[in-house]
Amino acid sequence: MKNHGFAFVLSPLKVEADLPFTIAPGHCLDRATQAQIAKIKPALQTFLSLPIPGSMFSSYEEDIKKVPSDKPGSFSYRHTPLDENDWRYFVVAFQGNNSELGTIQQACLVIKNDIRLGFYFLESESIGSCYGWHSQAIHTFPNDSGLDGQIAKQISASDLELVSKTYTALKELPDDFEHTLRAFKRFNDLCNVSQYSELTVIGLFSVIESLLTHAPRLSESADSLTHQIRSKVPLVRKRFVRPLDHESEFDQIGEDKLWSKLYAYRSRIVHGEHATFDGELKALRDMKAVVDFLRETTKLLLIASLDEPVLMTDLKKC
């Protein structure tokens, strides 16, 4: 018996691509088989306590839609049972051991609707049947995502191609760009932290800064982190694989002014001040808007750092 197994995809997905789809050598995204589902369900029962109506498996066995109500700003959630053939249990099936799952997970985080892997099952020649998980992340994901997180994410063939391309680039990245690998690891580590929290804001800023900035020269005010980000993001944004649309989150605020306000918010957090979205920070709206924008910015910078590592490293030094 050769080693083989599968990792369960925690994210409820709506995949618009032919399956199975090879995302890395010997690793394919596919619908779970009945035998795999028989292993997945008890594991979900053990690990997860999802804060959603109905059964624990609602997000995988029902189509969940967010429906506006008559009251402005209020919503309800409509649950429609799926045919068993359309259940949204997906896996990354693999040949060999589970050693590549970490890199695959990092690659899965850069697409617009990122994919989160959960526990995995392994059939090993040496130790037989076993399974494993990342204890913190597996609890953070369901408890953090709320009802909106149970709505299936649209995943296209081009998304999966980007995952595959990112995986290959990570494996082939020369040692000269170790800082890029560290940035990917830090971004992945943020899966262990509550998604909409001040710690996540600081973590996202740290990844962005590690990719774009050098330690400021205190003798030069124009060398501050804020100035570096304000000047460098517009330059590299022109090379992003998809548009970074700040106006959809923050209306008509200009890009330069936006980053100044984001850094003012960051400064309040790191200096222990009470950071609220009023006064000069009212334009940032709320924590979700800030985190969603910073997360997308981080994803696009990570992709750019793999596509053009020399250029991005040179920009970091400027």
Structure tokens at 222: 């124009």
CA distance readout (Å), 67 to 12, 71, 75, 306: 18, 11, 5, 39
CB count, 10 Å around CB of 177?
A: 16
Q: pTM of the entire structure? A: 0.92
Q: Angle at CA 5, nearest 5°, toward 36 and 39?
A: 25
Q: From CA 284, how far away is CA 168, in angstroms rounded?
A: 36
Instruction: Provide φ and ψ at 141, rounded to 5°.
Output: -60, -55
For the chain, give every domain's residue range: 4-161, 175-317
Tell the residue number behind the tokens 């649309």, with chain if given: 245
- Give residue-wise pLDDT tens across range 185-220: 999 999 999 899 999 999 999 999 999 998 887 655
Low-confidence ranges of the chain (pLDDT < 70): 1, 48-57, 135, 143, 145, 218-223
**pLDDT at residue number 47:** 74
**pLDDT at residue number 54:** 44
Work out the burial of residue 68: count CB atoms within 10 Å of its CB; fewer than 13 is exposed, 13-18 middle, 19 or more buried: exposed
Q: Which long-range contacts (CB under 8 A, 24 or more apart) does 18-25 make?
A: 18/157, 20/93, 21/157, 21/160, 22/164, 23/92, 23/104, 23/107, 23/108, 23/160, 23/163, 23/164, 23/167, 24/100, 24/103, 24/104, 24/107, 24/164, 24/167, 24/168
CA dihedral of 16, 111, 145, 48, whole degrees rounded to 10: 70
CB count, 10 Å around CB of 305?
A: 26
